[in-house]
A = this chain, B = another copy of it.
Amino acid sequence: VNKNTHWSECSRQRRDFLRLGAVSGLGLALGKVNLRTSVAADNPETSLGPPSVPPIDPVRIGFVGVGSMGNDHLNSLLRIEGVEIRAVCDIVEARVARVQEMIVKAGQPKPKGYSGGERDFERLCRQEDIDLVFTATPWEWHAPVCLAAMANGKHAAAEVPLAATLEECWQLVETAEKTGRHCVMMENCCYDRTELMILNMVRKGLLGELLHAECGYLHDTRALLLSGASRGAWRLAHAVKRNGDLYPTHGLGPVAQCMNINRGNQFVRLASMGSQSRGLTLFAEKRFGPDSPQTRQPYALSDVVTTLIQTAAGQTITVNYNTSSPRPYSREILVQGTQGIVRKYPEEKIYIEGRTKGDDWEPLAAYRAEYEHPLWKAVAERAKGAGHGGTDFIENLRLIQCLRTGSATDWDVYDAAAWSAVLGLSEKSIAGGSAVVDFPDFTHGRWKDRLPLRIVPA
């Protein structure tokens, strides 16, 4: 199938679909939803990405940032066929050496090493035998690395969040459009077993028309931030300077997929509110004493940041960010529609009108046989043992599959920009006393014609 032909065809379908929705009136609003769902389920393509990219095989990768998450990704990538690691870059020379050794042990030629300072990734991006630059650096380096990669004709993939500021979101979108390169944010939580199953339930219409969702990143990271280790220090620097939701994508990614954001729907506006900032100071005081620099250092970041997002379809999303207080881990993940509601935390539960017996939640596990996502079924066995419950393997597998077959990726630069935009927008809202702030339309109106994501079985 020629990509451009396919794009036009999809556009036409979408226009017909919108026209049908427009004349259908209130009574047919249900029909509209069902149609949307069925289009999603039948669409042979996952999404309409950047201009057609020919298949790449093998996928030759230059990897930037091989700390904890970088190692995790490399371990996954080395288990996927059609992958060659051609270059490794890190500011710590010893890490580069260790990874080079690891790659040689895995049976590949020794990749080229770069550790000549914090901008040495630019040399890596110029290396000719690389198709994809993959980065797992601190947040503030994701965008610079991706921009350098695309400027040198490489595809780019980065850990979350793809961009730390709104300006970076725009730069990435514009550069991806100009160069025709993929720019993909690696949101592993979109491939979590439960999140995939919820997406499958939504696609099959079990919840009806979606109304509301809740999600977030609720993780006591005080010990990490104040560990003194480098992987805490750069995060701590963000907490010193910024007040907003600095890590929205783990929760928002899966919810955005359920709601077809950038694919017939869009984030329209948000309002954020932040609590006092206490947790880091109290933790530092206990660990380092009242006069330690960590205790005397003021922290801008609220202990609890809550964001409300409105979508073009009218839905609401509550996004929670809660990283400086003692509490159990959660990403919330609650999706509510006209026919039922499903939640992941604190326990996986569901309520479906006409199916759930009684008035209380029932265990989500009872729906697994019927709604397990085909991708999970296909790759769960292979993903075992990989980071974050196997999701790190699946996200890499899907990326490589898409590149090798020349398909659109499961998310693209518009998704990465929309999800990452919450950092800058929530910061702006809080600075303005919870003023409502509009999302930019990174797609320039094309969100109306793009088709919903379907994650194909592997």
| A residues adjacent to B (C-beta < 8 A) | 26-27, 29-30, 209, 211-212, 269, 271, 273-276, 278-279, 281-282, 285, 290, 295-296, 298, 302-304, 306, 308-310, 313-316, 318, 322, 325-329, 336-341, 343, 346-347, 349, 351-353, 359-361, 433-436
Return chain B residues, CB-CB under 8 Å to A322: 212, 336
Which chain B positions have C-beta within 8 A of A316?
A: 273-275, 302, 304, 306
Query: Among A281, A313, A343, which residue has the most Cβ atoms of chain B within 10 A?
Result: A281
Q: Which of B298, B302, B341, B349 contacts A326 (CB 8 A)?
A: B341
Q: Assess whether B326 is in contact with A211, with CB atoms less than 8 Å apart.
A: no
Task: Point out the residues of chain B lying under 8 angstroms from A302, CB to CB.
Answer: 316
Q: What is the CA–CA distance of A337 and B433 in the complex, to the nearest angstrom? A: 22
- The residues of B that contact A296 with a CB separation of less than 8 Å are 26
Task: Pull 17 A–B residue pairs with CB atoms less than 8 Å apart, ordered by A.
Answer: A27-B285, A27-B290, A209-B278, A211-B276, A211-B278, A211-B303, A211-B304, A212-B304, A273-B309, A308-B434, A326-B338, A327-B351, A343-B346, A347-B347, A433-B436, A434-B436, A435-B435
A329: chain B residues at CB < 8 Å are 359
Question: Nearest Cβ distance between residue A249 and chain B, in whole angstroms?
Answer: 20
Partner of A341, one of B273, B325, B349, B361: B325
Across the interface, do B351 and A26 meet the contact criterion of CB distance under 8 Å?
A: no
A359 surroundings in chain B (CB, below 8 A): 328-329
Are A27 and B325 in touch, CB under 8 angstroms? no
Docked complex Cα distance between A209 and B325 (Å):
11
A300 CB to closest chain B CB (Å) equals: 13
For A343, list chain B residues within 8 Å (CB).
346
Shortest beta-carbon distance from A402 to chain B in Å: 33
A202 to chain B, nearest CB (A): 15
Nearest B residue to A338, CB-CB: B278
Measured CB to CB, the nearest residue on chain B to A353 is B326
A310 close to B211 (CB less than 8 A): no
B326 and A212 form a contact (CB under 8 A): no
Report the Cα distance A326→B322, complex, angstroms: 29
Q: Kindly identify which residue among B27, B274, B341 contacts A295, using a CB–CB cutoff of 8 Å.
A: B27
A282 partner residues in chain B, CB cutoff 8 A: 30, 338
Q: Give every chain B residue within 8 A of A353 (Cβ-Cβ).
A: 326
Given A282-B30, A359-B329, A434-B310, A275–B318 Cβ distance below 8 Å? no
Instruction: Flag if A310 contacts B340 (CB, 8 Å).
Output: no
In angstroms, Cα B345 to Cα A349, docked, is 12
A158 to chain B, nearest CB (A): 29
With A30-B282, A347-B346 in contact, is A276–B306 under 8 Å at CB?
no
Question: By the criterion CB–CB under 8 Å, are A303 and B436 in contact?
Answer: no
User: Considering the chains assembled together, what is the distance between the CA atoms of A313 and B30 in angstroms?
Assistant: 45
Residues of B within 8 A of A349 (CB): 346
Question: A351 contacts which of B298, B328, B360, B433 (Cβ < 8 Å)?
Answer: B328
A211 in contact with B341 given A306-B318, A359-B328, A434-B436 (CB within 8 Å): no
Query: Closest 4 CB pairs between A and B?
Result: A326-B353, A276-B314, A212-B304, A271-B271
Contact status of A310 and B30, CB under 8 A, knowing A326-B341, A336-B304: no
Chain B residues lying within 8 Å of A211, measured Cβ to Cβ, are: 275-276, 278, 303-304, 325
Most buried by B among A211, A304, A327, A349: A211
* Known contacts A211-B304, A308-B308, A433-B269; A275 and B315 CB within 8 A of each other: yes
Contacts of A279 in B (CB 8 A): 338
State how many angstroms separate the Cβ of A265 from the closest Cβ of chain B. Answer: 12
Interface centre among A285, A360, A434 (most CB of B within 10 A): A434
**A104 to B395, alpha carbons, bound, how many Å?**
73
A340 to B290, CA, bound (A): 21
| A327 proximity list for chain B (CB < 8 A) | 336, 340-341, 351
